[in-house]
Every structure is written in structure tokens, then in C-alpha cells.
Chain A
Amino acid sequence: AQTVTQSQPEMSVQEAETVTLSCTYDTSESNYYLFWYKQPPSRQMILVIRQEAYKQQNATENRFSVNFQKAAKSFSLKISDSQLGDTAMYFCAFLIQGAQKLVFGQGTRLTINP
């Protein structure tokens, strides 16, 4: 069975600081996709960043970047120059290529303080 583990239930940083959220996953598959989703109080899951497992280069989207370590099955999210609007629940998720379901972690509640 595929599992996703987020070991940090809550994190809190000051505005403009850099923060890293951790995620590990377990699978025997070799072709898959990894995602970070943001869920603000509006409840909608918003895609932050996506990584294909076959790509060695870490994905980057503006202030958001990942550190993908395939051998270690680790997929952390770094948020640079954090902003108040980054306050939300963050979920790491995993999708096996050809499968139909996203497998989510338990989430990390991130608070950016002014």
C-alpha cells in the first residue's frame, strides 16, 4: 500500500522567512507523481507544485521549490520569502502513473506571523 507521511503537524514562522515542510512516502512503484497542495480556510485544495518521479531536476514555482530525494522517498517543500497569504494547511500527495487516486498525507498547518 502507498502511504504518505508528514511528520510536522504544525509550523509557524515570521513573514519573509524561509520554511521547509517535510514529506516522506512509501511505494514500490517507479513511475509516479508527487504534489504539494495548499488548503486555505476557503477549503479549496490548490496545487502548489508538482514533481514527476522520472525527473531528477527539482521543480520550482516562483517562491516554492521542492527537494526530491527519490532513493530516500523524500519530498520536502521550501517556501522562500514567506507571506501572510501562505498561511494554510499544506498536504503532500502522491499519484501512481496510470492510477486514479491521489494519496494524501495528514497535512501540516503553516502559520505565517506578521
Chain B
Amino acid sequence: DAGVTQSPTHLIKTRGQQVTLRCSPKSGHDTVSWYQQALGQGPQFIFQYYEEEERQRGNFPDRFSGHQFPNYSSELNVNALLLGDSALYLCASSLRTGGVNYGYTFGSGTRLTVV
């Protein structure tokens, strides 16, 4: 039973570029959440996708956008990269039942470095 898979594991981008990160949820899960974890900090919620729609968003600018596909996988896109976007990006999947998310499972993240 595969867990949450994220790709790529590491990425180096230049300031001003755009980046796409990918996440495949755990089998049986239908909801994907994205978190940004700066070095030495706890993860911060970016947004959550369920039924191919953004359901809730954290305090992140519009440069951060996402998408969920019919197979529940998800992408996180960041435009106009800033040095401050350098972080570990974690994907978490869960099963949403009755409006409640159960069993958050995290991937190992994508380490993004902006130079």
C-alpha cells in the first residue's frame, strides 16, 4: 500500500522562475493538503484540495496555486519565485468523510531552493 509520493525530491530554481511540485495521495485518500516548512520552523498550511476544488487557503499570496486531478493527485505551482520561497514543501493526504478529515498521511516533501 503506497503512501504519499512527492516529486521531485529536490529542486533548484532561479528567482523569478515558476515551479510545479507533484503529489500522489495514499491509496484510498481523496483530499490533498500542501504545507510549506521553512528551515527550523513548523509547517504552515498553504491550501487543501478536495473534489478538484480548493477548499481552504492559508495566508499565502496568489503566486501559490494548485490543482487536483480526477485521480486525486495534486500539483502545487509557485510563480515569480522569491528567495523566501526556499523551503520544504510537504503534501498530506487524508480521507474526507462528513466534512471531517481523517488520518493525515504526509509525504517526504520536496526541498525547493531558490537562488
Contacts and interface: CB of A to CB of B under 8 A. Distances in A.
A45 B43 contact: yes
B41 A45 contact: no
Given A102-B45, A106-B41, A43 B99 contact: no
A103 interface: yes
A44 interface: yes
Interface string A86-114: 00000101010111111111110000000
Contact of A102 (B43, B55, B109): B43
Most chain B CB neighbours (cut-off 10 Å) among A4, A45, A97, A105? A45
Contacts of B99: 98
Interface in B35-57: 35, 40-45, 48, 55-56
Most chain B CB neighbours (cut-off 10 Å) among A91, A100, A103, A106? A100
A62 interface: no
A49 to B, nearest CB: 13
Contacts of B108: 42-44
A84 interface: no
Contacts of B92: 45, 102
Nearest to B90: A45
Query: Helix, strand, loop or mixed for chain A's interface?
Result: loop
Contacts of B35: 102
Contacts of B40: 106-107
Contacts of A37: 106
Interface residues of B, number: 24
In the complex, which range does the number of interface residues on chain A fall in?
20 to 34
Interface in A1-30: 4
B56 A101 contact: yes
B52 to A, nearest CB: 15
Contacts of B42: 4, 91, 93, 104-107
Contacts of A93: 42
Contacts of A47: 104
Interface string B77-110: 0000000000010101000000111001011110
A104 B109 contact: no
Given A45-B92, A105-B42, 14 more contacts: A44-B107, A46-B106, A91-B42, A95-B101, A97-B100, A98-B100, A100-B33, A100-B48, A100-B56, A101-B45, A101-B48, A101-B58, A106-B42, A107-B40
